[in-house]
Amino acid sequence: MHFNDTKNHSEVIVSSIYYEIFLYNNAFFENLVGEFYRINKYKSNIYRKIKNEQEYFTKLSNEERLILEDLTKKEKKLLDEILKHKLIENNTTNSK
């Protein structure tokens, strides 16, 4: 996935997640979504400093790049949990 695709993909996912909150409203799901949103916000704050992939290497410190990598890993884990929870909810709803 290209640098800009990652930024846009995260924004689309967050927009979609807001819709999901209304569909799957429970504390566990809201906590997952809330944490996902916070991580996405942290990443966005760092990404605002740069305009392209070249600036990723020239303008960001090593620490910021490591933070982005760590946040991306956490974001992926949370997204997996959110999707898993959604799948369980769908299966439960469909089996009734």
Per-residue pLDDT at 25: 63
Check residues 77 and 32 and name the one with the higher pLDDT.
77
Per the CB < 8 A criterion, the answer to whether 20 and 79 are in contact is no
pLDDT band of 9, cuts 50, 70, 90: low
**Global confidence as pTM:** 0.65
Stretch 16-30: mean pLDDT, rounded? 65
Q: To 10 degrees, the CA torsion angle through 35, 40, 41, 47?
A: 160
Q: Is the dihedral of CA 7, 3, 72, 56 positive or negative?
A: negative
Using one digit for the tens of pLDDT, what is the confidence trace for 50-91? 999 899 999 999 999 999 999 999 999 998 988 887 776 667
Per-residue pLDDT at 66: 96
Domain positions in the chain are 3-91
Check residues 26 and 81 and name the one with the higher pLDDT.
81
- pLDDT exceeds 70 at position 31: yes
- pLDDT exceeds 50 at position 1: no
> Would you state the structure tokens that stand for residue 9, as one six-digit string?
């993909």
Task: Compute the chain's Rg from CA coordinates.
Answer: 15
Q: To 10 degrees, the CA torsion angle through 16, 43, 75, 68?
A: 150
Residues sharing a CB contact under 8 Å with residue 20, sequence separation 6 or more, in sequence order: 29, 33, 82, 86
